[in-house]
Structure 1
Amino acid sequence: MDEKQVERILQNPKFQEMVIKKRNLSWTLTAIMLVVYVGFMLVVGYNKEFLMTSFSGGVTTWGIPLGLGIIVLSFVLCGVYSFIANRTLDRLNQEAMKEVEQITQGKGSH
């Protein structure tokens, strides 16, 4: 593959759409996770009393379900990414790959 073909692939609208959607999805999910995690760390640092209060009137404190919630959220966000990637990004990837094959075989050269 020469530079001209690589440039045509990078300029391909389907490829660019896929890259933009993947980047936006990744950054959105990353921002959600960071906000939740940093928020939890701020609560740990500045409001320990709240985390030490009882959740159910027994020995379980608010820190336990909140900490578990963060772990569960990470799995949920992975599932969201997989679901969206399988429905949207894979289709765009296949369409882009067809056009890339045409470019590399010389059928789509202009």
Structure 2
Amino acid sequence: MTQQNKDRIFSILKKIKRKRNGSRFLFISMSLISIIISASSIILNLYAIRYNVLPVQTMSLFVAIAVISSVITFLVTIQSFFNITESKNKLEQSVEKRTELKNKIEESKEVNESLVNELFDTYV
């Protein structure tokens, strides 16, 4: 493998890692924001129950809202957990495939078009 090919591959890998890290940060931050929003709605509902002007007439409504918010928060948390687990599994499979491809590239003296196409396919 020539130095020019190595430089090209490493520049592509650097761009891909930057994009991957950006998307990972966005995914994790959006999951955390959704959990925080759900939890804050529960807290606000509890404050509404506590400082309610007409407790007898509206207590059942506020309790129903609090229970629904709690269930939604629980579901959002479980969904975030499963999404992170699924992303982790995909990344592990991708790392294994890329390691095999790296070994293929290092073993061959010349990078041919099929190896380059296979490399691009793993990063798409």
Question: In the alignment, which residue of structure 1 is the partner of 2:80?
Answer: 77
Correspondence for 2:26 among 24, 27, 34 = 24
Rounded to whole Å, the distance in 2 between the matches of 1:24 and 1:72 is: 20
1:53 and 2:55 equivalent? no
Higher relative contact order (CA 8 A, sep 6+): 1
Give 1 or 2 for the bigger CA radius of gyration: 2
Give yes or no for contact 1:36–1:70 (8 Å, CA) kept in 2: yes
Correspondence for 1:34 among 33, 36, 39 = 36
Rounded to whole Å, the distance in 1 between the matches of 2:94 and 2:17 is: 7
- Bigger proportion of residues as helix: 2
Aligned-residue Cα RMSD (Å) equals 3.8
Give yes or no for contact 2:31–2:80 (8 Å, CA) kept in 1: yes
How much does 1:37 deviate?
1.0
How much does 1:38 deviate?
1.0
Question: In the alignment, which residue of structure 1 is the partner of 2:95?
Answer: 94
How much does 1:92 deviate?
9.6
Structure 2 stretches lacking a partner, 5+ long:
1-9, 107-124
Rounded to whole Å, the distance in 2 between the matches of 1:78 and 1:15 is: 23
Aligned length: 87
Structure 1 32/73 Cα, relative in aligned 2: closer, same or farther at 3 Å? same
Give yes or no for contact 2:34–2:76 (8 Å, CA) kept in 1: no
One-letter amino acid matched to 1:72 = L
Give yes or no for contact 2:38–2:72 (8 Å, CA) kept in 1: no
SS at match of 1:12: helix
One-letter amino acid matched to 1:76 = Q
Question: Percent identity between the aligned chains?
Answer: 5
Write out the 4+ residue segments of structure 1 that deviate beyond 4 Å after TM superposition.
none
Rounded to whole Å, the distance in 2 between the matches of 1:73 and 1:82 is: 14
